[in-house]
Structure formats: structure tokens, C-alpha cells
């Protein structure tokens, strides 16, 4: 998989993505990412990429042309990888779910746009037609942290990224129960058997794998009902939108 990230702050990415699972997956050749500075495509001597909003109001707005050119430049590289899925990280986007992450992890190439300032000129969003994604109902300073969250969530699903084949499948939101849908994970325990007067549930020491599996499933359903009842009410067949990914065309104006 190839991931291109367009940002005004490229220095933020390497310290985070080079560590832990993403870093190991990249070293193993499972994924590679390329961070592009949108300012490199500014057409003024100060590399300015924002301006005041029409109609007045606080904040600044990212202008169209540098972002448009940055996307065109990134997508012109390594076209043999496959079609590009464009993503804009924005609080107005579709909520990020494990279902959506699973869909994106199956695609050969992603291009993520980390917006900044008050927002991005709506005209270039319309022209690029990206999949708009939000990581939660709150506002951050920019799309850089959400892009890193999305990359981490995707990379850990790539075959070979985790040490055990079943690790990702048993995570919260990943376990798909035919009756209850996606569930939270069950409680986990390790040595010692007793800690500060708290003991490991006896059934986990029984060696009866069938009983352990039943216990874990019961705890998953119980925990989901207590903490996230909305998941039990959700449609298990929920599937993400599958936006058509089109290459950037030259500006005809």
C-alpha cells in the first residue's frame, strides 16, 4: 500500500509513524508513505497558502490552487500502484469506524489531505471530491493528527503487520457476531494470578478452551451492552461509501 499525505506541517509525521507497528510495517515493505508540503506549490514568494474568507469572519481559509497542484503532483508519482482514494480529514466528515478502516485497508493507494486554518476553500473540495472523514465530534488545530490516527488504524490491518494473525480480528469493533454485530473486546489478564487481592477469573485457568471462548463472548456482549449499547442497535451490515477515485485533471481555465 502507498499512502500520500498533503500537509502544511510535514515534520509532524515521521516521529510518530516511524515508531511501533507502522514503523515495523514500513520496514517490512507492507506500506510506504510520502509526506508532501502543500507550501511547495504556492505561487507567491512568501509561500502563502491561506487568505481571508469572503463575507468576513474569523480565521483564514486555505486557497484552492496550491492544494490542487499538490494533489496533481502527488498522484503523478508511481501511477503503477493503482487508483487513488482521496481523503480529506475534517470535523464535518463521515465518522471514522472500524468498518470504514477495513474498507480503506483493502485499497492500493490513499491520498490524505490534512487541512488547516478555518477550513479549505469549498471549490477545491468539490473539484477533488474526496471522501471526507472525521475522527470525532471535536475540533483540532489541523488534520495532521487525524491523518496519523487513520494511518495507524489502517496499517495494523495489513496482512503481516501484527505479530499474530488473529490479533486485529479480536479487537474492539472488529469482532463480528452474527446476532449482536460488532462488539467491544473482553477483559484480559496475565501473570501474576493474584495482584493486590484481585484474582484472575478461575475459568481462564481451566484449560477448557470451549468454556473460555464462551466466557469471553459473554463478557464482550455484557461490556458492549454496558458501555456502548449503540453498537448493539447498529446495523451489522453497515458498509462504507465507495467513492469513485478520479485522477486530477489539468485546470482548463
Active site members: 91, 118, 156, 171
* DSSP H helical ranges for the chain: 13-17, 20-27, 64-75, 98-105, 122-128, 144-155, 209-227, 229-233
Say how far apart CA 10 and CA 63 lie, in whole Å.
Answer: 18
In our burial notation (b when 16+ CB lie closer than 10 A, e otherwise), range 15-46 reads ebbeeeebebbbeeeebebebbbbbebbeeee
Q: Which of 188, 110, 115 is nearest to 155 (CA)?
A: 110
End-to-end Cα, the chain, rounded Å = 34
Q: Which of 64, 11, 60 is nearest to 42 (CA)?
A: 64
Amino acid at each position: 500500500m502507498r499512502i500520500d499525505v498533503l500537509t502544511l506541517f510535514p515534520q509532524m509525521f515521521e516521529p510518530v509513524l516511524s515508531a511501533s507497528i507502522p514503523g515495523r510495517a514500513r520496514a517490512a515493505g507492507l506500506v510506504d508513505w510520502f509526506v508532501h508540503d502543500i507550501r511547495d506549490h504556492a505561487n507567491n514568494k512568501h509561500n502563502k497558502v491561506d487568505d481571508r474568507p469572503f463575507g468576513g469572519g474569523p480565521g483564514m481559509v486555505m486557497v484552492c490552487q496550491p492544494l490542487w497542484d499538490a494533489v496533481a503532483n502527488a498522484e503523478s508519482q508511481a501511477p503503477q500502484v493503482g487508483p487513488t482514494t482521496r481523503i480529506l480529514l475534517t470535523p464535518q466528515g463521515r465518522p471514522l469506524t472500524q468498518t470504514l478502516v477495513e474498507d480503506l485497508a483493502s485499497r492500493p493507494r490513499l491520498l490524505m489531505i490534512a487541512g488547516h486554518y478555518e477550513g479549505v476553500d469549498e471549490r477545491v473540495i468539490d473539484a477533488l471530491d474526496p471522501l471526507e472523514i472525521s475522527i470525532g465530534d471535536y475540533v483540532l488545530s489541523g488534520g495532521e493528527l487525524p491523518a496519523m490516527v487513520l494511518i495507524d488504524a489502517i496499517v495494523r490491518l495489513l496482512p503481516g503487520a501484527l505479530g499474530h494473525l488473529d490479533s486485529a480480528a479480536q479487537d474492539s469493533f472488529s469482532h463480528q457476531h452474527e446476532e449482536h454485530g460488532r462488539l467491544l473486546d473482553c477483559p484480559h489478564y496475565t501473570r501474576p494470578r493474584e495482584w493486590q487481592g484481585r484474582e484472575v477469573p478461575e475459568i481462564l485457568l481451566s484449560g477448557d478452551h470451549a468454556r473460555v471462548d464462551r466466557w469471553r463472548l459473554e463478557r464482550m456482549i455484557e461490556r458492549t451492552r454496558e458501555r456502548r449499547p449503540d453498537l448493539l442497535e447498529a446495523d451489522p451490515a453497515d458498509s462504507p461509501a465507495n467513492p469513485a477515485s478520479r485522477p486530477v485533471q489539468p485546470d482548463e481555465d
